[in-house]
């Protein structure tokens, strides 16, 4: 089964796959190359999930501001 690209997965799918990867890595039964591949996949999933959370946080912030015309901006810049 081919893995979906993290950016094409829902947040829930991302978390579910991350849970599975962590379990597999914690088991310690993987050869080094396979463990590295799973670790790389986990990093990609983590970054994608964080981006989805950032976007959702920004959308909530815009909705709470009651400004329907507010443009989307990089949320991290607003916090600085």
Model confidence pLDDT, tens digit, residues 4-14: 898 889 999 99
46 neighbors 18 (Cβ within 8 angstroms): yes
For 2-58, write each residue's pLDDT tens digit. Answer: 588 988 899 999 999 999 999 999 998 999 999 999 999 999 999 999 999 999 998
Report the C-alpha gap between 68 and 45 in whole angstroms.
31
Q: What is the pLDDT of residues 63-80, one digit of tens each?
A: 788 666 666 677 665 544
**Interacting residues of 35 by C-beta distance below 8 A, sequence separation 6+:** 25
């Amino acid at each position: 089964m081919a893995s979906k690209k993290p950016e094409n997965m829902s947040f829930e799918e991302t978390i579910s796959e991350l849970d599975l990867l962590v379990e597999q890595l914690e088991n310690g039964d993987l050869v080094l190359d396979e463990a590295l591949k799973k670790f790389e996949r986990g990093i990609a999933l983590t970054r994608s999930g964080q981006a989805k959370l950032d976007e959702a946080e920004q959308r909530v912030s815009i909705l709470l501001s009651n400004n329907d015309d507010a443009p989307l901006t990089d949320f991290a810049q607003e916090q600085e």
